Copies of this chain bind each other. A is one copy, B any other.
Amino acid sequence: MGVDEKQRARLFELADLILAISRHLHAAKTDAAESWTPLEAAVMRYIDHQPGTTPTQAAEATQLISSNFSRALRKLEQKGLVRREADPGDARRVRLYPTQKAGENLRHLEDAWSRLLDEAVPDTAEAEAAITTLRRIESQLLARVSRS
């Protein structure tokens, strides 16, 4: 069956827009407190969403190979944004938690990005609809990768 012509073009534009906006957001590098590289930001946000996660799990979610994840993690720890804690059941395992400082920085980031987007999407329902769609896309892409 395959995707029909118009839907294909639509989906392409969707991907295109996501990539373009992502670039804009990076470029508008909100000087939110600590300066984060894009990769560090991705790791930080994941740990914030999933406190208590392990490096292996987080690396998978962010699609980083463990060596690179470890590097990003080290920097975040040096900046006092992430705390490592030993897993009581398995001493090999490390649990990751955002620090309070991370919470403050993320709030700054939230402020900055929200302000950027509020003019474009003031409507609550529209924002929620977009989030629903994008959430589905995100989990779909994630699943696809772990499958391969």
Contacts and interface: CB of A to CB of B under 8 A. Distances in A.
Contacts of A24: 63, 138, 141-142, 145
A19 interface: yes
A126 interface: yes
Indicate the member of A22, A27, A142 with the most B CB atoms within 10 Å. A22
A21 to B, nearest CB: 5
User: This chain: how many copies in the complex?
Assistant: 2
A140 B114 contact: no
What is the size category of the interface that chain A forms with chain B? 35 or more
Contacts of A90: none
Nearest to A113: B15
5 contacts: A12-B113, A15-B116, A17-B131, A117-B140, A120-B139
